[in-house]
Amino acid sequence: MYEKKGVVRSVGAAHSFSPVAKPEQHLVSLHHMRGLLDVDAVTQQATFWGGTYLHEVGPILARYNLALENMGDIAEQTIAGAISTGTHGTGLKLTSLSNQVVKWGFIDGQGSYRK
């Protein structure tokens, strides 16, 4: 098994204004972990890989007559990056993208998958 100690930072689209996604030592990109995993037509909920770009989400959801409630003017971000930073669109009565999340799965610092 390959084992090397160090600080790992995940990166989405690296589209943040600040260097929050800049790696100190190791960088992990989810660029190839993109797309739809599941759609529930009854609850109108969809499960995506975290590396999916926001501009990919709309066309995929449209096949199921679904859509995001709101988006920003830029859609280059990934789902994981946008939700991690509280990315929002416009509108006083519309919330951030993170508020549309009902469930989240992730790998913790010990390498275990949690959901």
Ligand X SMILES: Cc1cc2nc3c(=O)[nH]c(=O)nc-3n(C[C@H](O)[C@H](O)[C@H](O)COP(=O)(O)OP(=O)(O)OC[C@H]3O[C@@H](n4cnc5c(N)ncnc54)[C@H](O)[C@@H]3O)c2cc1C
Residue numbers at the binding site for ligand X (CB under 6 A):
9-17, 20-21, 30, 50, 72-74, 77-78, 80-82, 84-85, 87-88
DSSP codes joined into one string, 39-96 = EETTTTEEEE-TT-BHHHHHHHHHTTT---S---S---SBHHHHHHTT---S-TT---
Shortest Cβ 28–ligand X spacing (Å): 8
Min dist. Cβ of residue 72 to ligand X (A): 3
CB closer to ligand X out of 65 and 112: 112
